[in-house]
A = this chain, B = another copy of it.
């Protein structure tokens, strides 16, 4: 391994980044599952042998999973990118772990709250928590590296 990942913060970052990216990517197969079980497809070539064009439609359950996936793209990807820069500023391990663990927990809870349509403000709060954690890491990055 290169010396870059000799430090524990970077190991922790890699671990949590990998976990939350896998969680995000699983929204793809989940969308496929809902498309098949709800019979709601986006492409004619996906209809299979039935070729029933009535299945070229949207379904609330499919759209819900897709919105959840989209929210992941909007929040998980920035977390990973900012988290990478944050790790390079070599923060204290305990502080870093607190950020990483809370973020991953908030996004797993966000997914459950979204897909299961839990009453608000459960989903809203988990979204805001994730946002604040990423902003907190961004603040550290900017205060350490600022070169405009």
Contact residues of A with B, CB < 8 Å? 1-5, 7-8, 10-12, 14-19, 21-22, 24-25, 27-29, 42-46, 48, 63-64, 67, 69, 73-75, 77-78, 80-82, 84-85, 88-90, 117-120, 123-124, 127, 131, 134-135, 138, 141-142, 144-148
Candidates B2, B78, B81, B134; contact of A3 at CB < 8 Å: B2
Chain B residues whose CB sits within 8 angstroms of the CB of A45 once the complex forms: 117-120, 123
Among the listed B16, B69, B82, which residue makes an inter-chain contact with A18, where contact means beta carbons less than 8 Å apart?
A: B82
CA distance A21 to B19 in the complex (A): 21
A148–chain B nearest beta-carbon distance, Å: 6
- The docked-state distance in angstroms from the alpha carbon of A81 to that of B18 is 9
- A19 cross-chain contacts in B, Cβ below 8 A: 142
Whether A145 lies near B21 (C-beta < 8 A) is no
Contacts A69-B74, A117-B43, A123-B45 given; indicate if A5 touches B81 (C-beta within 8 A): no
Which of B12, B18, B146 is close to A142, meaning CB atoms less than 8 Å apart? B18
Contact A134 B25 (CB under 8 A): yes
Q: A28-B75, A45-B123, A73-B73 are in contact. Are A147 and B7 (CB under 8 A)?
A: no
Given contacts A1-B88, A14-B141, A81-B81, 7 further A-B contacts (CB under 8 A): A5-B88, A14-B88, A14-B145, A18-B145, A27-B74, A45-B117, A48-B120
